[in-house]
Amino acid sequence: MASAIGLWLASETAQNSHMTPRQTLVTAGCACVYMHQIHTYALLPPFRLARALPAIFEAALLVSLLAVDHTQFKASKTRGNMSLSIPVLEDYGLSPTHGFLPATPPLTHLPDPYYGKWEAVATNLQAQVLGRRLRGVVDGLPVLSTSRLRDEAEWRRAYSLLCFITHAYIWGDDVPADRLPPSLAAPLLDIATHLEVPPVATYAAVCLWNYKPIFPDEPIDGLKNLATVNTFTGSIDESWFYLVSIAIEGRGASILPLVLKAMGAARRKDSPAVARCLRSFAERLADLTTILQRMHESCDPRIFFHRIRPFLAGSKNMAEAGLPRGVLYDDGSAAPAYRQYSGGSNAQSSLIQFFDIALGVCHRPTGETAADDTARGSNPNSRNNFIQDMRRYMPGPHARFLEDVSRVANLREYVHSHRDDHELCLAFDACLAMLSGFRDKHIAIVTRYIITPSREARAHNRRREPVSKKHLNLATASMQAQDRGHKGTGGTALIPFLKQARDETSEPTVEEWTKRFIQRKAEGDARADMPLGRPEQADKESVSVKGLAGSWTMEDNVGGICLV
């Protein structure tokens, strides 16, 4: 009887205070013990029953304290992001004018003559690749120490140029190299550790730390004042491909302080200020879409697909391309290790993920829906391995900034709690519409630069001679993978992945009509694109593509163009 009363008391307390099962169990146990003592005392004469009063009060007090403690914990959890300070850009090496780009332009060369051999190789990279001499030159280089790199700008320059040399070394011949010599591996591993990035050509290596202003006294928030420092091919097409991303970073830099200001205004419940920031946010997102649409001006899709993109490949999931274990980073140690990394991709841009965090956009693993979130009861972002994995390819401070911003992000919650504020809701929904439109244009670019050339390459490859082991590369890998029904080198279907990311962008909208408008616009844009059915089945006969990797599958999402 006492146990039953104790369980009932604990159950009522837990239900009213929304305790977890573990907390309910602890409360029930304590309540049963004390109710048993009370029941025992109740069987005694009245003068003995008086002694039970302290136990009664103790039992009631314990259960009450447990309930109050949990209620306060729950309340403090809802106020958790209020107790955390809003991140300061400068604490992460960021600036309100340059965002994730360095506050001062990257170095175009290392000033210490000691590193002249690295600079010489990078300067003549295209000629050495063309003459098939790069590997011999790199193999003959001495192992240079990183101890003479003096500041972060020099560390970043060393990282960028070594990444260009590394990927040219691996992919600049008919057969990929599965081993990096100590002259590359040893310093690259040291530099990568210092900068908190992987030892591979990341977005930071080819974009963020690989540009120079044409006129130093002019802004870099547009394409007219930007140039690249290094490229693999020396082509205008490759430079333009990087510069479009760099210009987006430059123009989008002002959004960072704008969003942080909006978060502060939301904490003060200053709705007009939040709305003003969101309107400016939406306008700047429109500017980014305009820059993205200029990709076609100086970057030919076929040159990008056949000549530029292969150099951006990583070593992860590349067994078909001749790298079954990845690449051996021979740093001269007793036990050098094979490593596997994804290729360089715009998905490694911290700016794009920052937009999603600011607006409360959640991305799920490809194929999952909002209904799956309800069933699982977990944050979809925590299950999206691709998004989390791409953060490992960002500079450490940038990734930490995103993590810290995600802890204090409050705009979606604030706007949805002020649905009666029409101006506020309209500004928030406008941001989501602009971000969705940006992703629409990105899908169109992927179609033109990857899907169409991929189909053309497959049609052409069917007429080619059988594959030679002497020409095993990414092109061969793509064809053989499709023959067996495998996915592409990235492991995720590209177009479904991007379309789902676009569709998820509209989910946080306040007004239902805004969501319908975004979805209808997306459907209209999809009809305007090339029909994207299932990839045609490749012929069973494997074929070869000589030279640099000539073909990538339609289902690849790593290496080149990919904005989550």
Residue among 69, 243, 232 at smallest CA distance from 163:
232
Report the C-alpha dihedral over residues 287, 238, 193, 188, rounded to 10 degrees. -170
Q: With beta carbons less than 8 A apart as the criterion, state whether 488 and 481 touch.
A: yes
DSSP for residue 224: G
Count other C-beta atoms under 10 Å from residue 412's C-beta. Answer: 21
Say whether 290 sits in a helix, a strand or coil.
helix
87/81 Cα distance (integer angstroms):
12
Phi and psi dihedrals of 444, rounded to 5? -65, -40
According to the annotation, is 442 in a ligand binding site?
Answer: yes
Look-up of token digits 């295209």: 126
Q: Are strands 179-180 and 327-329 parallel, antiparallel or unpaired?
A: parallel
User: Which residues are CB-neighbours of 367 under 8 A, at least 6 positions away?
Assistant: 496, 500
538/459 Cα distance (integer angstroms):
8
Q: With beta carbons less than 8 A apart as the criterion, state whether 62 and 368 touch.
A: no
Ramachandran region, residue 267 (left: φ > 0; alpha: ψ -120 to 50; beta: rest): alpha
Q: With beta carbons less than 8 A apart as the criterion, state whether 369 and 318 touch.
A: no
Q: With beta carbons less than 8 A apart as the criterion, state whether 24 and 11 touch.
A: yes
Ramachandran region, residue 368 (left: φ > 0; alpha: ψ -120 to 50; beta: rest): beta
The token pair that represents 67 in the structure block: 């309930």
Q: With beta carbons less than 8 A apart as the criterion, state whether 539 and 479 touch.
A: no
Query: What are the binding residues for heme b?
Result: 442
Query: What are the binding residues?
Result: 442
